Amino acid sequence: MTTLARFNPFRAPTRFETTATFDDLFRNLGLGQWANQPEFMSDMRVDITEDDDSYYIDAEIPGVDKDDIDVSVEGNRVAINAETKREKQKKDEKELVVERSWGKAYRAFALPSDIDGGRTEARYDKGVLTLTLPKKANGNARRITVS
């Protein structure tokens, strides 16, 4: 069975376990900050489900303070912005390995129907943002019988 995976050129290759990693080949070849850019912010994994009344979005955003998450809803569009800040390096410490992530993430979705922004709920717990997005009642919708 084949599995579909998103390609991220800045993510550390996990398949190639050699003594020198693929990243080491490009570390100082003019890539600047991209060579050391953490991989967190390129990936915000989500699950989107729905029932008759609402859409539900679960977005994995680990290591983010809930005050650094911004969710906006307009019509049928939902946008999630998140930012993780890097901890300050102490003056007398030298970095040997930096694998923890920082930066900004953005995801946006267009859902099949409009969302009632006034009843939208957001909760952040253990690195997962959970959105409950009630569908807007469409008073003009009616079923038409074809004769």
Q: What confidence tier does 34 reach under pLDDT thresholds 50, 70, 90?
A: very low
Q: What confidence tier does 142 reach under pLDDT thresholds 50, 70, 90?
A: low
How many residues are there in the chain? Answer: 147
Q: Which CATH architecture describes the domain 39-87+98-134?
A: Sandwich (2.60)
Dist. CA 71–CA 79, nearest whole Å:
6
Q: How far is CA 40 from CA 85, 98, 142, in A?
A: 12, 13, 45
Q: What is the pLDDT of residues 1-21, one digit of tens each?
A: 555 556 566 555 555 445 555
- Give the pairing of strands 46-50 and 103-110: unpaired
List Cβ neighbours of 97 (8 Å cut-off, separation of 6 or more): none
Contact 60, 41 (CB under 8 A): no
> Per the structure block, which two tokens stand in for 36?
């050391």
> Per the structure block, which two tokens stand in for 6?
């998103």
pLDDT, average across residues 42-64: 89
Domain edges within the chain: 9-37, 39-87+98-134
Q: Which residue has the higher pLDDT, 89 or 121?
A: 121
Residue-by-residue DSSP string for 38-83: -SGGG---EEEEE-SSEEEEEEE-TT--GGGEEEEEETTEEEEEEE
> Per the structure block, which two tokens stand in for 90?
């102490």
Model pLDDT, residue 58: 96
Among 53, 65, 60, 59, residue whose Cα is nearest residue 109? 59
Task: Say yes or no to pLDDT of 23 above 60.
Answer: no
